[in-house]
Structures are given as structure tokens and as C-alpha cells.
Amino acid sequence: MLSILDRYFLRELGQTVAATVIVLLVIMAGTSFAHVLEQVAKGSFPASVMFQVLGLNMVDSLSSMLPLAGFLGVLQSFGRMYRESEMHVLSSSGMGMGGLLRPMAIVAVVMVAAVSAVSMWLGPLASRTSDNMVAAANRSIIAAGLDAGRFTELPGKGGIILVDYLSRDGQELGNTFLAAERTNRDGSLVMKIATGKHGHLYSNSDSSNRYLALYTGWQYEIPLGADNWRRMKYERNDSALSAIQSDDAEDPIHNLDMVDLMNNVTPDARAEFAWRTVVPMMTLALLMLALPLSRQSPREPRYGRMLIAVLGFYLYSNLLAFCRGQLAKGHWHHALPMWLLSLALFAIAAWAFRNNYVARKPRKASA
């Protein structure tokens, strides 16, 4: 049964952590949105799936954002109580370490469970869903915003297309007009115009390029700045649309579920598995570290401890990233250094928190 004090702590911690999560999500949304816009401009996927991809990317990033949000939220909540002397009043009323550890234990269980679910299941699922959605959009010309009866610009400077009929899946086209600008090997520009009575869209085996097959029509090649036009009648004419430019930041290993990841013995898979399993311990260590860091006097600078906390988190996360990089390069073969680092931080934080509540020996009066 929770006491009134426990419920008060849980309410304050919950509100502050939730507010911190929202603020960090807004910040990360801006960065992710810029990255998604860059991918759309490169032609990696159509703009019609931009917001779905952005949302799935945000879900995937929760595994690295939630530990920081919990750390800063607890630091802000307890720090305010110390600055306003609430903690000093409660301590003088007989509240010891248990008064803080009980609500913190509940918050830690919820945070660790959420981080574990995101890092081990929800994050990879969101990444796989995003990749499948992009692949499906790139296979369908309807995702480019094509509509029968109006001119539509294809993504990635693929040209202008006009059709009088379009199937529901976006694969089959009626009478089609396609105009695109191409660059020859000598650097000259050529306007390519093709018409067909019907056509269909397809991609190659690895879905890296898209093609439009037109049937029974004419093709015109018009060099810009010259008069040597060419006209050709065809039965079938395959035109390459804009190439699907892959994103260099894609990581196929990250999309694997935990079972497939455990069966994969590559260094990248070991590094990914180590990261997913150590993130919950990272969250627990940061929550414990927030307890001693939040203790401050009313006259202490308000954001002094916050600066120390951010620098400490930056150092800790970079050390974990270094360990993960060593695993990915094959220099290390197990995640023991990552676990030892997290356990050491947890032990140091627990010792510092206990030291705050240990009764100090009275000083001997000087003669």
C-alpha cells in the first residue's frame, strides 16, 4: 500500500519525466524531420510516406531517448524539492533513504520495462515496418501522387507523366505520356518524350531501380540546343525512372528480431545484441545516478547540477558507444566491458546516495 508521501513523489516524478520525454521528442522530431526531407530530396522514397516514416523513426529512437529523459526528469524533480527545502523538511521529519527508494523503485521498473520493450522489440519492428513501407511505396507509382487526368512530377527528377487511367495498385496504366530530361555521356541534355497506349510499372529484383514499360507508341529524343531530332515507333519501350538511392545510414542488422540476432554470429550482430541488452541496465544506472546528483542547497546555481549531469551522460554514452564499436569491428567478442561499465556506474551512484544519508560523526570540540 502506497503512502501519501509515495504518491506525492510518484506524481511529481511522473509529471516531470513525461514533460522531459515530450521536450526531447520535439527536439528529436526536428532532427529526424530534416533527415527524412533529405531522403525524400535524394529520391530514397516518395513524399507521400514521409510522415509515416518520420513517426516510425521516432519510435525507433525511443530506446536511446528514454534513458536520458528518465535521468533528466528525476534530476529536475528531486532537484526542485531540494532547492525549495522540501527534502530537508522531510528528512528532519524522519524520512530516510527508504522514502526515496520506494517511489524510485516503481519508476525504475516502469522505465526499464519500457526501454526493454522498445530496444528489444518495438524499435526493430518499427524499423522493419518503415523499410517495408518505403519498399512498397517505391514499387508503386501511385505513391508519387500520380492521378489520372493530370500532369504529375515523378520523385527524384524522374520527369513528368500523364495517364488517362490508373489501376488501384498503381501498377497498370492506360494511355501514357512521359517527358524526362536526360544527360548524355558527353554532357549534352536531351529531352525524351514517350507515348504509349498502355503500360505498367515494375522494379528490378533488389528494388533499387524503377522502370516504366510502355506498349505500342512513339518515342522522341530532342537534343536541347540542336536540331537532330529522332523519332522511333516501338511495340515496347522500357524507361528507367529515378533510381532509388539507398540511405547510407541503413543498418540491416538493426531490423532483425532478438531470435535472429542471437543466431547471427557476425560482429555487427554481436554489437547490436549487446546494445539492446545493456540499454535497460544503462537506464537503471542513470536513474540511480540522478539521486545523489539531485541533492543541492537552496543557494546553489539552479542548473549547475544539470550541466554536470549532461556532461556525465555524454561521457557514459560515448564510452558505451566505444565498446559497441569495438564489438562491431571484431576486436572484442563479448559485451562484458559494457556491463562492467554500467555496473560500476550503478555502484558509484548507490554509494554516493547512501553517503548522503549516513550519520556523520560529531566533531570533537577543540581545547
Q: How far is CA 213 from CA 140, 164, 190, 241, 251, in A?
A: 13, 16, 20, 10, 32
Q: How far apart are CA 313 and CA 278, in angstroms?
A: 15
Same domain, 257 and 338: yes
Residue 145 domain flag? no
Same domain, 184 and 220: yes
Looking at 140-220, list the stretches that DSSP marks H as alpha helix, in order from N- to C-terminal side: none
What average pLDDT does range 109-138 have in this prediction? 87
pLDDT at 190: 87
Structural domain ending residue among the three candidates 240, 272, 288: 240
Cβ neighbors of 8 (< 8 A, separation 6 or more) are none
| pTM as predicted | 0.73
Q: Which residue has the higher pLDDT, 336 or 97?
A: 336
pLDDT digits 0-9 by tens, 303-351: 778 888 889 999 999 999 999 999 988 888 888 999 999 999 999 999 9
Task: For the beta carbon of residue 323, count every other beta carbon within 10 angstroms.
Answer: 22
Picking from 334, 316, 321, 319, the residue whose alpha carbon sits closest to that of residue 269 is 334
pLDDT at 237: 86
Q: How far apart are CA 125 and CA 138, in angstroms?
A: 20
Amino acid at 359: A
Residue 314 domain flag? yes
pLDDT digits 0-9 by tens, 218-265: 998 888 877 788 888 989 988 776 555 445 445 688 888 888 888 888
Q: Which residue has the higher pLDDT, 217 or 362?
A: 217
- With a cut of 60, say whether residue 194 has pLDDT above it: yes
Residue 148 domain flag? no
Same domain, 119 and 268: yes
Picking from 163, 158, 159, the residue whose alpha carbon sits closest to that of residue 197 is 163
Structural domain ending residue among the three candidates 240, 262, 279: 240
Same domain, 310 and 210: no
126: left (phi over 0), alpha (psi -120 to 50) or beta: alpha
pLDDT digits 0-9 by tens, 50-76: 888 888 888 988 888 999 999 999 998
Q: How far apart are CA 192 and CA 266, in angstroms?
A: 47
- In which residue are the cell numbers 527545502 written? 85
All cell numbers assigned to 282: 544503462
Whole-number percent of the chain with pLDDT over 90: 25
pLDDT digits 0-9 by tens, 133-180: 877 776 665 545 567 788 877 765 667 888 888 877 667 888 989 888
Q: How far is CA 34 from CA 17, 40, 59, 254, in A?
A: 26, 10, 16, 22
pLDDT at 248: 46
- What is the extent of the structural domain holding 225? 158-240
Q: How far apart are CA 313 and CA 321, in angstroms?
A: 12
> Considering its fold, how many domains does the chain have in total?
2
